Amino acid sequence: MLTGTAAIDDLAATAPTLSAFATEPLACPGADLVQVVHEVWVDEGGREAMVPPALHPVNPPCLTWSFLRAPESVVGPFTLAQTRLVCRSGVRARGLHLAAFTDNAAAGQLLASQWGLHFPVPVADVRLVRRYDRIDGTVAVDGGVVLDVSLIGPQPLNAGDLQFTDTMTLAHTPMGLRLVQVEQSYAMNRAERARTVVHRFEGEAWGRPVLRPSYPVSASAAVADVTFEPVRFVCRPDESAFTGTERVSS
């Protein structure tokens, strides 16, 4: 099994700080979802150098881009875009969080301070536009587009056919520097698959300039009641999840 070799101190330099672990869920009813899985070329040290020793990269290396457009929440409506590296924590499929952007500063502050998601800027121009024949997701920062993907020709799926993996994000927590497991639950109302087109991806804006998209794997869209669940588990970044996983005290 491949094991990560990334320098933890380097990753920690941009890690957010949790004021406290989330103890209450963040509900986003009736949300639009998009996820694109894509193979990537990795330079400078290979896939192992992209993840900390606690996690295991996959072969071939892949990333996911996801969009969540929440029409309502306790912090108001928001759209969230996230980039993750596909990996495993122990034997479980996970996504290592690289960065996220949102159009709602309050949502970003909440997700950063209680779930540990990293936001390079407080507010960005994040859009998810659904049409009958395509779905477009874009992220622009200071007028420059850093992500632009399209899902072409959505085809219906059974609502139970889609599954999304949990996220691991490195953060400074009350328990020290840890990989925080961000769990989301989904009550699916509609599910679709589609062909994907990547118009633009600026890896540097997401903290990984060495990533270059190569071949598409899958693209899916959904309408669902999405809930960010309270944080239950963290993992030491320097040792395997088999021995380094810790339960968060309630």
Nearest CA among 32, 14, 67 for reference residue 206? 14
* 29-68 per-position pLDDT tens digit: 999 999 999 999 886 567 888 899 999 999 899 999 999 9
Query: What domains are there in the chain, each with its CATH number?
Result: 8-247 (2.40.400.10)
- What's the pTM value of the predicted model, to 2 decimals? 0.95
* 7-32 per-position pLDDT tens digit: 999 999 999 999 899 999 999 999 99
φ, ψ at 135 (rounded to 5°) = -130, 130
Identity of residue 65: W
Three-class SS state of 10 = helix
Cα separation, 243 vs 235, in Å, equals: 9
* 84-131 per-position pLDDT tens digit: 999 999 999 999 999 999 999 999 999 999 999 999 999 999 999 999
